[in-house]
């Protein structure tokens, strides 16, 4: 094989570094067998590099490839999703390392390494991942440069060169990021649904929301236009549960197809506008303030005034929403049309009888609701550790335990309302949030999960009723972390989560600052496409093809001019040295008279020795010139005597040529 096509030892080591660096971000979602395959392939190639093993036969490589394809297909149920495609790419990428022998093989590995490195951003678009991918690209570039280096170049040179190249490319990268228009992909990437994550579910048992108080994970963040609403108005509507089986509230998919009453929403101004950044919970709901006025593009507004996505949310997204805090939601027709909101299963006889007797005494829906709220306020206790409820759970809660969380209160109240013919449903979502003063937005965590009641009254339509506010009004008026901080079960699943909350904690303040930075990153980098038009208008005044072209060409021209100036400055600086100029003139004269010009890369000492050997009459002059030059350049002669003597010897030598 020609020497120019062989890989040097440093180049091969850089290949292994690039493979390891680009695969690391994918370790969390790759199957274990694929990790074993990657280690085995790289290990085999290392053994070949050490001379202990030979390259595998083509039949073995083919067998490994077929086994990898079958493993990906079985692990992901196909290769149509992003996870499956990335896993297949990494499998082939790792097996290709077994063939790294020539420059062509190494180039293919490096090119695929760039794709694998950037594919990590499909799964995580945080600041940390972006920084890691930037480092991975720089190291992969070093591996690319190392392919073309000679065998006597050290390991550090490709790294240093790639670092300089990256620094030079960053200004142009920023310009391209700001100016180049965003376009939607020509294909749709379906992100595979991973394991279940913390959040509200499509069913609710009275104690389930209590479990969310064990988690401090962020559910979403909200930035308001103008003044933010008061704490007791922050009801974030996510799901409604119209169906009840005696223990759990849920939505019966079969009954979703039945006709529902046409509802109309009448609002009172002003309308509240806000941007909601929702975390990747794997769910389909979008929490909104009661009541949402419309749905963003790609989102469905349900008849129950909840927003629902077509696919589970697998990455952080931001939505611009509008809501009315003062509204009237009613139906065009009779309340008896609400079949689902009136149905009850058999059981809980004592609660039914109590509800009917109270309704007979009060005589109206409003008075009956007031009686219920007074009963909750006087007889019940709010706690994160409610006792277990067995059969006829509503009866047991109402007449025996009388201790519970928001799910218990809302469940029992809806049951009693339906028992007397008042349509009602459980609404689940979040209440409240923590204000971040560094970027002026609201942080809503999973422990802010809440459930309340919606009831339909003929003269008012659907109204919100929160029995928890009667039992524990501090839950609505104060942030959750203040209320729950002394509860034993609070943040039980996240023991370190308590360090990032609180009013007087240094770590909590640092977390708020970091969260503000991450929020800005998501808004201005990840979601820059939604703000690009406004940014370009502020920068360019008017977006036209000519101005966009100038915005691209001018920074590019500036960078190129700086690079050219640096090169010319170095050349000009070298040429301007009068001692080197004098030596160059002597070389040109000798070349013209005797053919003894100085060769490229030839030192002054070697040149003087060569001239002295061919022209003995110039030997003393040339030896003195070389001695003075070395004293001036390397011995630190600060007096200038060596420089003056060198110029004098050059003049005398020129007269003898």
Q: What is the pLDDT of residues 200-258, one digit of tens each?
A: 888 888 766 666 666 778 899 999 998 899 988 999 999 999 999 888 898 876 666 55
- The string of pLDDT tens digits covering residues 156-179 is 889 999 998 888 888 888 888 888
* End-to-end Cα, the chain, rounded Å: 50
416 vs 554, more confident: 416
Q: Considering the chain, what is the average pLDDT of its residues? A: 84
Give the closest residue to 407 by CA, choosing from 247, 219, 586. 247
Q: Residues 348-364: what's their mean pLDDT?
A: 94
Q: Residues 554-562: what's their mean pLDDT?
A: 80
Q: Is 1 exposed, middle or buried (0-12, 13-18, 19+ CB in 10 A)?
A: exposed
Would you please indicate which residues are annotated as catalytic (active-site) residues?
Answer: 406, 450, 466
Query: Would strands 424-431 and 441-445 be described as parallel, antiparallel, or unpaired?
Result: unpaired
What's residue 194's pLDDT?
45
Q: Residues 328-350: what's their mean pLDDT?
A: 78
Q: Provide CB contacts within 8 A for 93, sequence distance 6+.
A: 19, 109, 112, 113, 116
Torsion of CA 36, 42, 48, 51, to 10 degrees: -90
Q: Residues 418-446: what's their mean pLDDT?
A: 93
Asked whether 106 and 112 are in contact (CB, 8 A), the reply is: no
How many other β-carbons are positioned within 10 Å of the β-carbon of residue 562? 12
Q: Which helix (H) or strand (E) holds 278?
A: strand 272-278
Q: Is 648 exposed, middle or buried (0-12, 13-18, 19+ CB in 10 A)?
A: middle
How many other β-carbons are positioned within 10 Å of the β-carbon of residue 600? 4
Q: Quote the CA–CA distance of 655 and 657 in Å, as a whole number.
A: 6
- The string of pLDDT tens digits covering residues 410-428 is 999 999 999 999 999 999 9
What's residue 332's pLDDT?
58
- The string of pLDDT tens digits covering residues 300-309 is 998 888 999 9
Fill in the DSSP letter of residue 501.
-
- Identify the weakest region by mean pLDDT among 149-153, 283-287, 620-624, 627-631: 149-153
Q: What Å distances lie between residue 110 and 8, 13, 14, 160, CA to CA?
A: 15, 12, 10, 18
- Identify the weakest region by mean pLDDT among 36-40, 517-521, 576-580: 576-580
Q: Which helix (H) or strand (E) holds 452?
A: strand 449-457
The two three-digit tokens of residue 334, written as one number: 């009779």
pLDDT band at 183 (very low <50, low <70, confident <90, very high): low
Asked whether 79 and 188 are in contact (CB, 8 A), the reply is: no
Q: Quote the CA–CA distance of 409 and 403 in Å, as a whole number.
A: 9
- Residue reference for tokens 């690209």: 137
- Identify the weakest region by mean pLDDT among 75-84, 137-146, 224-233: 75-84
Percent of the chain clearing pLDDT 90 (strictly above): 31
Q: Quote the CA–CA distance of 306 and 291 in Å, as a whole number.
A: 9
Q: Quote the CA–CA distance of 222 and 442 in Å, as a whole number.
A: 5
Q: What Å distances lie between residue 35 and 32, 55, 105, CA to CA?
A: 5, 21, 22
What's residue 196's pLDDT?
42
What's residue 259's pLDDT?
60
Q: Quote the CA–CA distance of 497 and 456 in Å, as a whole number.
A: 40
Q: Quote the CA–CA distance of 393 and 248 in Å, as a whole number.
A: 10
Q: 493 pLDDT exceeds 60? A: no
- Identify the weakest region by mean pLDDT among 135-144, 464-473, 487-496, 572-581: 487-496
């Amino acid at each position: 094989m020609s020497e120019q096509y062989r890989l040097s030892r440093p180049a091969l080591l850089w290949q292994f570094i690039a493979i390891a660096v680009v695969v690391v971000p994918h370790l969390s979602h790759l199957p274990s067998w694929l990790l074993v395959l990657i280690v085995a392939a790289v290990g085999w190639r290392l053994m070949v590099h050490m001379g202990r093993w030979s390259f595998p036969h083509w039949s073995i490589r083919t067998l490994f490839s077929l086994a990898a394809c079958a493993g990906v297909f079985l692990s992901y149920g196909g290769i149509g999703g992003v996870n499956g495609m990335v896993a297949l790419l990494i499998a082939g990428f790792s097996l290709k390392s077994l063939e790294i022998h020539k420059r062509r093989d190494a180039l293919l590995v490096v090119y695929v390494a760039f794709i694998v490195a950037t594919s990590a951003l499909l799964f995580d678009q945080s600041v940390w991942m972006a920084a890691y991918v930037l480092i991975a690209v720089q190291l992969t570039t070093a591996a690319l440069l190392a392919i073309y280096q000679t065998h006597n170049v050290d390991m550090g040179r490709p790294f240093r060169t790639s670092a300089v190249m990256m620094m030079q490319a960053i200004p142009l990268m920023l310009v391209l990021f700001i100016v180049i228009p965003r376009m939607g992909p020509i294909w749709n990437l379906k992100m595979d649904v991973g394991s279940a994550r913390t959040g509200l579910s499509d069913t609710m048992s009275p104690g389930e929301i209590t479990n969310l108080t064990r988690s401090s994970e962020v559910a979403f963040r909200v930035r308001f236009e103008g003044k933010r609403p008061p704490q007791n108005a922050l009801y974030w509507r996510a799901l409604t549960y119209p169906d009840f089986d005696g223990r759990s509230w849920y939505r019966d998919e079969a009954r979703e197809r039945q006709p529902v009453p046409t509802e109309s929403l009448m609002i009172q101004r002003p309308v509240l506008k806000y941007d909601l950044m929702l975390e990747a919970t794997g769910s389909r709901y979008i929490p909104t303030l009661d009541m949402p006025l419309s749905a963003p593009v790609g989102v469905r507004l349900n008849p129950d005034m909840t927003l629902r996505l077509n696919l589970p949310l697998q990455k952080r997204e931001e939505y611009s929403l509008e809501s009315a805090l003062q509204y009237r939601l009613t139906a065009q027709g009779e309340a008896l049309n609400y079949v689902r909101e009136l149905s009850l299963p058999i059981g809980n006889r004592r609660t039914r009888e109590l509800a009917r007797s109270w309704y007979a005494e009060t005589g109206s829906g409003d008075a009956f609701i007031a009686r219920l709220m007074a009963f909750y306020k006087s007889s019940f206790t709010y706690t994160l550790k409610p006792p277990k409820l067995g059969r006829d759970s509503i009866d047991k809660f109402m007449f025996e335990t009388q201790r519970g969380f928001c799910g218990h209160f809302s469940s029992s109240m809806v049951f009693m309302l339906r028992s007397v013919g008042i349509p009602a449903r459980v609404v689940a979502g979040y209440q409240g949030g923590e204000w971040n003063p560094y970027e002026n937005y609201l942080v809503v965590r999973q422990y802010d999960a809440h459930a309340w009641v919606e009831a339909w009254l003929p003269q008012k339509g659907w109204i919100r009723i929160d029995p928890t506010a009667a039992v524990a009004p501090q839950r609505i008026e104060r942030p959750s972390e203040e209320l729950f901080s002394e509860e034993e079960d609070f943040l039980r699943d996240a023991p370190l989560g308590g360090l990032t909350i609180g009013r007087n904690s240094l770590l909590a303040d640092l977390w708020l600052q970091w969260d503000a930075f991450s929020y800005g990153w998501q808004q201005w980098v990840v979601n820059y496409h939604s703000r690009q038009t406004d940014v370009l208008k502020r920068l360019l005044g008017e977006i036209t093809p000519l101005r966009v072209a100038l915005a691209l060409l001018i920074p590019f021209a500036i960078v190129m001019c700086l690079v050219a100036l640096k090169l010319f400055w170095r050349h000009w600086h070298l040429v301007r040295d009068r001692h080197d100029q004098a030596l160059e003139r002597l070389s040109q004269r000798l070349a013209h008279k005797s053919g003894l010009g100085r060769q490229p890369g030839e030192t002054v000492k070697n040149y003087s020795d060569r001239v002295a050997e061919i022209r003995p009459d110039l030997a003393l002059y040339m030896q003195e010139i070389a001695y003075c030059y070395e004293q001036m350049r390397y011995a630190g002669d600060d007096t200038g005597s060596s420089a003056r003597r060198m110029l004098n010897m050059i003049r005398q030598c020129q007269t003898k040529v």
